[in-house]
Amino acid sequence: MPSSPLKEKSSMTTKFISITRAWLRQTVRKTRELDVSLAGPQFKLSFKGDEPIETRKGINGQSDKPFYESDPDRLFKYYYSYQHTPEHLDNLLYVDVFPLKTEGSNGISLDAIDCKNLVLAIEPSSYRLPEKLRRHGDAAVALFKEMKKLRFLDESQQWENNVALRIDAIDPSGKISCRKARYFDQVATNLTVDWASGLLSDGWYTIRSGMERPENGKLRPLSESNLANTLGVAVLLYERDLSPILRIRSASLASIPKRGLHCTASGVLEIDASHRAGLFDFAILRQGMVKEIKHEIGLDEHEYDLFPVALARELPRCGKPQLFFAAIARVPPARIREAIASADEAHEFIEDLSSTPAPTYGDSTALSEHFTYEGWACLRFAERFIEANQPYLQSLGVAGA
């Protein structure tokens, strides 16, 4: 039975839309100035020059171009629904913030989730890199090895590829669903979202502009994302007089390569590969921060007070979740400096504390521009925590509160 003229017209329209979309995406990458609106009885298509674009093209280990976008102006054009949030106005590149609190302390807002009510559900099966990302992921890991952005462990004669927690979903009630993932999975996805490797499937130019495109100006929900989305941790450590300890981040690292003022310690939250599946409390997440503090600062758990402040998602690495903490030392500055100098991962920072310039508000440059974007966010979240907990910190004997 021959098809009706109406069905043929519909089929031709659908085909035209597909061709037009492909042409627009290809053209906008070249011009970045295209503003097109097409309308008809079947569809309406609006396309503007805020399409996510590549930061790096091809496989070249000599290039110093970044693998993901960190420019605030471009990111907030991609994710335009966040443009009027407090985070955007404060130059924070983190959104979808979940404030946290513990017994005795206040959260940074009244709707903060009490950590005693948090439930961590670890699934029995691990995250697996989607097959359509396999070639891109393999090339990313190989290139990071070549560029020495990954750490080779002499004692085991293998590349460091620690086990982390991939966040599948966060419920406003406090349930966090997750599964195990590897650091290489993060390299293959979140760390290379704007790299036009030429190895992606389905005609995707980059991960961000293809499989993880912004939806209505927002990040894709974690439950719908195909990226590794491994949980990171970051802490700003204060001395007893509430002087923050800021550091200078090395530019040679795989993650957040910008040289600038950074928080005292940060990294991927690590767990043991043998950790069982099941339901757990907040202690697992807290212990992940304790481990990172030991690696990068060298202090033992009894030498500081540790406070969770917020869980948020990061725009540069396409929604990667980050857990922010504030910590207050129980030991004098001399002990802190001694611990930092002998820490296992002291190589991740290039200057000691005595040479770290203190930020000032008198500079004509925006204060945030002196920081890595993670360091700036950690500072601002920690400042809010300190302000919200003056009486509580005084009860702990903190001199600067």
What domains are there in the chain, each with its CATH number? 1-49 (no CATH), 50-395 (3.90.79.10)
In the predicted structure, residue 382 carries a pLDDT above the cut 80: yes
Alpha helix (H) residue ranges in 262-372: 283-296, 333-341
How is residue 337 written in tokens? 């400096």
Distances from the Cα of 178 to the Cα of 7, 218, 280, 316, angstroms: 46, 21, 11, 21
The number of residues in the chain equals: 401
Q: Which two tokens stand for residue 52?
A: 């996510």
Bridge partners of 182? 163
Counting Cα atoms < 13 Å in the Cβ hemisphere of 38 gives: 12
> How many Cβ atoms from other residues are within 10 Å of residue 334's Cβ?
8
Q: CB of 285 within 8 A of CB of 322?
A: no
- For 225, which DSSP code? -
User: For 286-302, how does the pLDDT look when each residue is reduced to its tens digit (9 = 90+)?
Assistant: 999 999 999 999 999 99
Helix (H, G, I), strand (E, B) or coil at 384: helix
Q: How far apart are CA 73 and CA 88, in angstroms?
A: 10
Q: How many whole angstroms separate alpha carbon 368 and alpha carbon 380?
A: 10
Taking 80 as the threshold, does the pLDDT of residue 22 lie above it? no
pLDDT tens figures, 56-65: 999 998 999 9
Q: What per-residue confidence (pLDDT) applies to 252?
A: 56
